[in-house]
Amino acid sequence: MSDFLLSLKDVSLAFGGPPVLDGVSLSISKGLRAALTGRNGEGKSTLLKTIAGELEPDSGEIVRAPGIHVEYVPQSVPADRPGDDAFNALSGGRRRRKILEDALLTRPDILLLDEPTNHLDVEAIDWLEGMIRRQREMAVVIVTHDRRFLKRTAAKIFDLDRGELSGWECDYPTFLRRKAELMADEAVYWERKAKKLAKEEAWIRRGVKARTTRNEGRVAALEKLREEFAARRSAPQTATMKLDTAAPGGERVVKIENLSFGYDPAHPVVRDFTADVLRGERIGILGRNGAGKTTLLNLLTGRLAPSSGAVSTGTNVRLAFFDQLRSEIKPELTVGENIASDRDEVVVGGVKKHVYSYLADFLFAPERVRTPVKALSGGERARLMLAKLFLKPANLLAMDEPTNDLDIETLELLEEQLLNYKGTLLLVSHDREFLDNVVTSTFVLEGDGLVRQYPGGYADYERQRPKETDAARPQSRTAPPAAASPAPASKKLSYKEKRELDELPGLIDAMEREIAEILSSDPVANRDSYARIPGIQKTLDAAVERWAELESRAGA
């Protein structure tokens, strides 16, 4: 039986400007694990939608194997699913995971994931990594800015650059090295072409009789060179944003004394937490979805009052806050109006700068500066939020999930700016590599209100955190017994395992509904039910893992 699933042949697609897809060809076979890379706005989501059949190309051919099932998971999480009260009761992170689980349970031939780690906590990202790595038959194509996720899941790279797609049979680190070499060679090539063009233009301007037989070939070559430069699509620019730091304050920036807070007194988010945040520290805030990371950040920055205890700031502290909901951005206003209101200039580092020039540093062309924010992509909104934030000189910077929707080049530039930042940083992020590269210590919400501080980044926390024993794990009354003990992967499925594979989707749905029903109930009146959620969630995770393992063996 053939492994062929789908192919694109010379596919092109444009939306009024230069082609987003310009003669793109690719082939997808069973078992493919590929990442689709490219800058924000290059057309990665467009390519996924074209593969999924949601967009029709202007030209070219798409060939699909008979009966093929393609599942596309977009980067946006729906705010509402008509008639699905259980789904609507979930948090953003749980909605994202539910959508991913639903997609996997349809057993697609091709799974297309657009920024799947957005809104997921680190444990859920680890779960998704494992699910993808265990697939043997299903093909997976992923768009992601999460570099560690990309390194751990992708065995092939599709790179979309100025409308053209190239395939790289290698892992992500190898691709980065080879792509850098290719871009350097391209820069040298065009530099030589530019010198030749300048020389030939000077020659023609000197009035040489170009119509002689001897010179006609040289004139024709000049015309061809002009056409080549006119048709050239330059490499996209890199953002040049620069973070401004206010004058330093005192040595102790934030003092936390016996801090406690809870929306429900019976279930504290933070309980009796005491710590100091010192000048120059870069602290990451970790925890599962719903643990209270944003709540803790709001408590530490005075945006939320504690139930008991105290949070006080030191002398001369000037705060700038990056809100993951981006509530400071007004969707009806243009990009320029959000930055400078009705003014033409902004003040950057004490120096006046034209708003167009300032926003060009964040990769906004003049026509985009005049565009309403509601028409921007997720990546453009993230850059606009950074542009707004960087206008505020601050010595305490609080950032809530700043990496969502940023392309990797902008993400790495933000890392560089934060590493050079002279102030103090409080950072909520699920991006493990970003945390490892930036923070000096972590505050971890470990459940039941307990917050612990660990030195180092995420990898350091993983090495130091207490390991949960099997005996200590809470069990759910809905637990399917087989979910906790997967069989060796080398054996074919027994009759009992085949029945288990058939039954697991129903059990998984039942546990999802049970969690959703508890979350939609009154937490005070149903304290016992709320206390059971961690146990049900553990069992649910094990059941999904078990389903993936059995499904993989059944396919093999």
Boundary of a domain, candidates 462, 497, 530: 462
Distance of alpha carbon 397 from alpha carbon 540, whole angstroms: 37
Instruction: Report pTM.
Output: 0.72
| Same domain assignment for residues 347 and 397 | yes
Residue 190 tokens, joined = 């065009």
Are 265 and 172 members of one domain?
no
Task: Tell whether 546 and 431 lie within a shared domain.
Answer: no
- Higher model confidence: residue 257 or residue 527? 257
525 pLDDT exceeds 60? Answer: yes
The CATH number covering residue 79 comes to 3.40.50.300
> Does residue 382 sit in the same domain as residue 492?
no
**Residue 485 and residue 353 share a domain:** no
- Considering the domain architecture, whether residues 307 and 159 belong to the same structural domain is answered as no
Per-residue b or e along 21-47, where b marks 16 or more CB atoms closer than 10 Å to that residue's CB: bbebebebebebbbbbbbbbbbbbbbb
Q: What is the pLDDT of residues 329-356, one digit of tens each?
A: 898 999 999 999 889 999 887 889 999 9
- Report percent pLDDT > 90 for the chain: 41
The answer to the question of residue 413 being in a domain is yes
Cβ atoms of 402 and 326 within 8 Å: the answer is no
Residue 205 domain-assigned (yes or no):
no
- Position of tokens 């994931």? 113
Residues 274 and 151 in one domain: no
Alpha-carbon distances of 98 from 103, 124, 283, 342, rounded to whole Å: 9, 11, 30, 44
Which residue among 176, 195, 225 closes a domain?
A: 176
458 shares a domain with 475? no
Condensed to tens digits (0 to 9), the pLDDT of residues 30-53 reads: 999 999 998 877 889 999 999 999
- The DSSP result for 421-474, as a single string, is --SEEEEE---HHHHHHH-SEEEEE-STT-EEEEESSHHHHHHHSPPPPGGGS-
The whole-number pLDDT of residue 166 equals 92
How many CB atoms are closer than 10 A to CB 359?
24
Domain check: are 271 and 397 in the same one? yes
Domains identified in the chain, total number: 3
Q: What pLDDT does residue 420 have?
A: 87
Structure tokens, 500:
């288990």
30 is a domain residue: yes
- Inter-helix orientation angle 92-105/495-519, to 10°: 160
Residue 281 and residue 339 share a domain: yes
Instruction: With beta carbons less than 8 A apart as the criterion, state whether 155 and 171 touch.
Output: yes
> Is there a domain that residue 203 lies in?
no
Each residue's pLDDT tens digit, 349-388? 788 999 999 998 888 888 889 999 988 877 788 889 889 8
Q: Is residue 220 part of a domain?
A: no
Q: 97: how many CB neighbours lie within 10 A of its CB?
A: 26
Among residues 176, 209, 237, the one where a domain terminates is: 176
- What pLDDT sits at residue 408? 85
Structural domain range at position 47: 4-176
Question: Are residues 290 and 335 located together in one domain of the fold?
Answer: yes
Range with top average pLDDT, 247-256, 377-386, 506-515: 247-256
Q: Tell me, yes or no, whether 14 lies in a domain.
A: yes
Question: Looking at the structure, do residues 394 and 537 belong to the same domain, yes or no?
Answer: no
Lowest-pLDDT range of 79-88, 178-187, 224-233, 527-536: 224-233
Tell me if 303 is assigned to some domain: yes
294 within a domain of the structure (yes/no): yes
**Cα–Cα dist 116/282, whole Å:** 27
Q: Give the pLDDT score at 133.
A: 86
Of 556, 546, 530, the closest CA to residue 267 belongs to 530
* Structure-model confidence comparison of residues 191 and 35, the more confident one: 35
